[in-house]
Structure 1
Amino acid sequence: MRKYVSVWARTLACLLVLVSAAAAEATTVRVNYDVGYGNRITLRGSKSPFSWTTGVNATWATGNAWTYTWPDSVGDVELKPMINDATWSIGANYKVKAGTTVNIYPFFQGRAGTLVKINNFSSPQLGNTRTLRIYLPPSYSLNPLKRYPVLYMHDGQNLFEAATAFGGVEWQVDETANSLINNGQMDEVIVVGVDNGGANRIYEYTPCCDPQYGGGGADVYERFLLETVRPYINQNYRTLTTNKNTAIMGSSLGGLVSTYISRRHPEVFSKSGGLSSSFWWNGQALTQQVEAATAKVAVSFYIDAGTNSDGLTETTRMRDALVTDGYVQGQDLYSYVAQGAGHNEASWAARLSIPLTYLFPWQSTVY
Structure 2
Amino acid sequence: MKQTIFFWPERCFQYVFILCFLIAYSGCSTPLSTDKKEPSTTNWDNRFRLNNGMVIDVFIPENYTPDSTYSLLLLNDGENMFGDFSWNMDQILQNLISSGDIRPVIAVAIHSRGKRNNWYIPYNDPWITSNWGPYKPKALNYAQDIFTEVIPFIDEKFSIDTTEVGILGASLGGLISTWMGLNFPEKIKYSAGLSGSLWVADYSIFSEVDGPYNSGQKFWFDIGTNEWNYYIPLYAELDRSGLMPGVQNFYYEVPNGAHFIEDWIQRIDLPLKVFFSTDKNPEPVSLEVVLECIPSQSSPGKYFRRMNPIITLSNQVKYSLAHTASYTLLSGDAELGSEGSFINNPDSEIEILVEYKTFSKTVEIPVGWCK
Band the TM-score falls in, shorter-chain normalisation: 0.5 to 0.7
Residue number among 66, 69, 72 corresponding to 1:147 in the alignment: 69
Q: Does 1:201 align with 2:201?
A: no
1:204 corresponds to which letter in structure 2? W
Q: Name the structure where helix makes up a greater proportion of residues.
A: 1
Q: Quick one: distance in 1 between partners of 2:84 and 2:50?
A: 21
Secondary structure of residue in 1 paired with 2:97? helix
SS of equivalent to 2:192 = strand
Q: How does 1:284-363 map to 2 (within 5 A)?
A: 284-290=203-209, 293=210, 295-298=211-214, 299-309=217-227, 311-313=228-230, 315-362=231-278
Counting matched residue pairs gives 232
Q: CA deviation at 1:113?
A: 6.7
Q: Specify the SS of the correspondent of 2:69.
A: coil
**For residues 252 and 273 of structure 1, do their structure 2 counterparts lie closer, same or farther at Cα, with a shift above 3 Å needed?**
same
Shift of 1:262: 1.9
After superposition, give the CA deviation of every residue in 1:338-360 in whole Å (9 maximum; x if it has no partner). 22111121111111110101110
TM-score (norm 2): 0.59
String of CA shifts for 1:69-122, please: whole Å, max 9, x gaps: xxxxxxxxxxxxxxxxxxxxxxxxxxxxxxxxxxxxxxxxxxx87213324434
Distance 1:279 1:215, change over 3 A: farther
Contact 1:113 1:178 in 2 (8 A): no
Pairs within 5 Å for 1:95-134: 114-123=43-52, 129-134=53-58
Q: Secondary structure at the match of 2:151?
A: helix
- Residue 231 of structure 1 corresponds to 152
Instruction: Specify the alignment match of 1:248 in structure 2.
Output: 167
Q: Which has the larger radius of gyration?
A: 1
Identity %: 27
In 2, Cα distance between equivalents of 1:287 and 1:272: 15
Aligned match of 1:266 in 176, 185, 196? 185
Distance in 2 of aligned mates of 1:265 and 1:289: 11
1:317 Cα deviation from its structure 2 partner: 2.5
One-letter amino acid of the structure 2 residue matched with residue 312 of structure 1 = N
Letter in 1 for 2:69: R
**Cross-structure match for 2:27:** none
State the match for 1:217 in structure 2.
138
CA distance in structure 2 between the partners assigned to 1:162 and 1:183 by the alignment: 20
Question: Which residue of 1 is the match for residue 321 of structure 2?
Answer: none
Stretches of structure 2 lacking an aligned partner (at least 5 in a row): 1-40, 129-134, 281-371
1:94 aligned partner: none
SS of equivalent to 1:285: helix
Gaps of at least 5 residues in structure 1 are 1-111, 124-128, 164-169
Equivalent residues of 2:190, 2:219 under 8 A apart? yes
CA contact (8 A) 1:275 1:348 kept: yes
- Tell me which residue corresponds to 1:176: 92
- Pairwise CA distance, 1:152: 0.8
Instruction: Describe the SS at the equivalent of 1:308.
Output: helix
The CA distance in 1 between the partners of 2:84 and 2:67, in whole Å, is 33
* TM-score, structure 1 normalization: 0.60
Q: In the alignment, residue 125 of structure 2 is paired with which amino acid?
A: D
3-state SS in 2 of match to 1:312: coil
CA–CA distance in structure 2, aligned partners of residues 307 and 348 of structure 1:
13
Matched-pair contact (CA < 8 Å) for 1:157–1:193: yes
Contact 1:113 1:138 in 2 (8 A): no
Which of 146, 150, 157 aligns to 2:79? It is: 157
Q: CA deviation at 1:264?
A: 1.8
